[in-house]
Structure 1
Amino acid sequence: MTTPFGSYELNRFPADPRDQLRAWDAADEYLLRHLDAGTDERGPVDLAAAAGRITVIGDRWGALTTALAAHRPTQITDSSLTRAATEGNLDRAGIGTSKATVTLLTTQDAPPERIDVLLVRVPKSLALLEDQLYRLAPHVHEGTVVVGAGMVKEIHTSTLRVFEKVFGPTKTSLAEKKARLIFCTPDPALTAKAAPGPWPLTYQVDEQGGSGAGLTVVNHSGIFCADRLDVGTRFFLQSIPTNTDGARVVDLGCGNGVVGAAVAVADPDAAVVFTDESYQAVASAKATYEANVGAGRRTAEFHVGDGVAMLDPASVDLVLCNPPFHSHQATTDATALRMFAQSRKVLREGGELWVVANRHMGYHTHLRRLFGNSEVAASEPKFVVLRAIKREARQRPL
C-alpha cells in the first residue's frame, strides 16, 4: 500500500497464499489522503499536534494504524485477527508495538482519556459502531477531528444517523473509487450527556430452542442476532449431543456461547471451551455461561484467538461449530475450512466435529476430504447439520 505517509507491505491474518484479498482497500487510501491534504473546510489534520491522542477504531487489518504509527495512534479493535495482523504489519514496517509507537486496545478495554483525532472504519455491525461511539463520547471534545471511512455500500443513512445521534452534525464526502468519507463535528451538548448504550442485551431462549430452551443469553454489541436466537443456531440446538459424559467440548466460533452453555447445563461434568476471534463474542459467552451454570460446576475455558490454534493436539473430544461465511463484506469459505482443519488437529482419535451450515455451502465435500467421512445428522430445506469423526487414517489435503 502506497500512501502519503510511506509504502507498506501489508498482510491479512492468518496468512493464506490462496487468499487474493488485500489487507487494505480504497476507503483506507481515501482516508489517509484526506489526513495528509484535507478535503473539507477544516483543512488538513494536524497529526503532529495530535500525536499520542489519535484513536483508530474498526481498522480491518491494521493498514491505518501502520501508516500512522509515527504519530503514536491507539487502535481499538474487536478482532484478535485484526490485532495479530496489525502486529505483523508493524513488524514488517520495522515499527513494532512499544509504547513509543502504537497502543493496541480491545473493545473490552477502557478507552484513552483524551481523543483529539478519531478515525472510524465503518464496521459491518451498526450496533458495534453505536456502542463504540457511546463509549468514546466522553473522551472527545469540541475540537476533536472525527473522520469515518468505508466503501459506499457500507455507509447507509442509518450509519450517518448514529454519528449524528451520539456525536453531532455529520456529512459525507463525494465518492472516490467507490469509497466515501464521513465528517462529524462533536457537539459538547450531546457528547457530554452521552449515556451508556443499551448493551449488553439479554433474552431467554423459548421452549422451541431445543437443548437451549430456557437458557439466558447475553449479547454484547456486534454479535450476530443480538435479541433472539438465529435460525441456524436454533436448528443446531435441536441436534447437538449434550450427553457428553464429561467430555472436553469446544464451542468453536462461540458467538454468545449459547451452544456451549447448553452442553454445560446438560452435563455438569463436561469441560467446555469457548473460542472466538471476537473479544465481544467471548465476553458474551462468558456472561451467558455465568448466567446459566450454577456455582460448584466445572470451570469453563474462554479463549480469544484464531479458532482452536491455542489448544493442544488431540486434546478435545467434541467440537461444535456454526462457522461464518463472511469476512467483513466478502463471502468466503476460507474461515470455515480453516476451522475444520484446526478441529481435526485438536480432536482425539474417535473425536467428532459437528457443523451447522447453510445447505448450499457444500461443506460435506470438504469434511470428507479432510476426515475421510461425513454424515448428515439433521437437515431441513435451508440448513444441514454434519458430523465428521476423526479416524486413524492420515489427513488428506484440502
Structure 2
Amino acid sequence: MAKDKKAVVAIAKEPTVQESVTKVFDLLGGVTNMIKRGETVILKPNAGHAEGPDTAVCTSPETLRAVIREVKKAQPSRIIVAESAAIGCDTMECFEVSGQADVAREEGVELYDIKAEKDLVNVAVRGYKSNIKRCKIPRLLLEADHIINLPIMKAHASMVFSCALKNIKGTVQDQVHSQMHQQNLTMAMMDVWWAVRPDINIVDAINVASGYSPHTPTPLEVGIIMGSYDPVALDLIACDVVGIDTNQVDYFRAADEAGLGTTNRDKIEVVGEQVKDVYRKMWIPYLGNMADRWPEYDIRCEGACSSCQALLALNMETLKALGIYEENSDKTIVVGPRNTIPDKPKDKIILHGNCTKRFADKGMWIPGCPPGETGLYLTVKTGQVVDGEIPGCIENIIRPSMEADHPKWRAYVEQKAKEFYENPENQ
C-alpha cells in the first residue's frame, strides 16, 4: 500500500443479503476486476463448530450463497468452500449442521475438508514471530488463484472476538492448531496469515454472536456485510460498529507488530454506510476490570493478555452459573506474568497459562497460550489440573463435564443477555 493511500473498508446494509454482498464487492472495485474467467477461487467461511444458522457461530449459509453467486459473475472454473474445523470437531459435520453444505450442493460448488488433505506443503514463515517457523498448508490453497476470507463476526472466549484475522486459523490441521496454542496463539495466528494470505475479506455481520460465544452465543442482529483488502482495518472498524474497545484487545497490537495491515483509523476510509449509522452495541462479557470483578476471590492478573482475561471471565462466571462459586472462594487465581504468589497450599493456587509457568511448583499449573477454554473452571471443580493435552482428558473429563453443565450455564447466559440488552444504557 502506498504511503498516502488509505485502507478502504466497505459497509453495506441493503434490503437483502445478496444486495449487500454485491454492494460491498462493487465498492471495492467489482468482482470481475478481482477474479478472471477460468480461475480457481477458494471461499473460506467459518464452519468451526457444529452449530446451526440460528446461533450465529458459523458464517450464515445465505451469506455464503450470496458470495458464491457474486463470484460466479466472474466465471471462475472452480469455486471451493474450504474449512478446517476446531480441534475435536468434524469439518464435514460442521458444514452440514451450519447449513453451508446444502448451499454448496444447491449452487454446484465443491466442499473441501482441509483436515482430510494429505498433499501439504511445509511453508516457511519468513520473519515469524511465534513458534510457527514453518506451517503445513494444503497445496490447493497455495495454488488457488484467489482466497476469499468469509468470516462471521462473533465474541470469542480465547480471543475476545473473532473476525477476519482469526478466521484464517481454520486453514491448518489439528497438529498445527495445537502447536499454535503452545506458545502464543495471537502471534501464531498472524504467522499463519503470512503463509496463507487471502486477497479479500468479506465479513458476515448480519447476525453476530454476542455473549459467551462460540459455545454459548447470544445472536444479535446488526444487518450488515463488510469488506476490505486489509484484514486489520476491517477488524478494527468491525469492532467500532459493535462497540468493542480495541485498546483492550491484544489482537491489534500483534497485528501491528506483524505488519499485516493498518491499526491507524486516520489511514482508513469507510465507504458505503458509516459506522454511526449502523452502530449496534454488542454484549462482550470478556472485557472489563478483572482484578475487582470477583471480589470474593484473590484474583491476580497483572500483565495478563486479553485472551487470558477473556477466559478468566468465562470460567469465573461458569462457577457462578453452576452454584460452586462461593465454596471455592479460598482459591488464588493467577493470570499473567507480573504477579506475586501467596503463601498457600498448592491446591489453593491455580496458575493459568504459560506465562505463569515459573510458579508451577507453587500451585496447579494449566499450560497453554491461552489454555483450553474450560480448563480453569474444571480445575477448580475437580481439584486436579484439567488440560486437553493430558491423555484422555478431553474424552473423560472435558466433554462429559461440559455436556452435564451446559443446561445451567445456558440459562445463566440467557438471563445475563436479557439484562444487558434491556438496559437502556446499552442501546
Structure number with the bigger relative contact order (C-alpha 8 A, sep ≥ 6) is 2
Q: TM-score, normalised by structure 1?
A: 0.37
Structure number with higher helix proportion: 2
Q: TM-score, normalised by structure 2?
A: 0.35
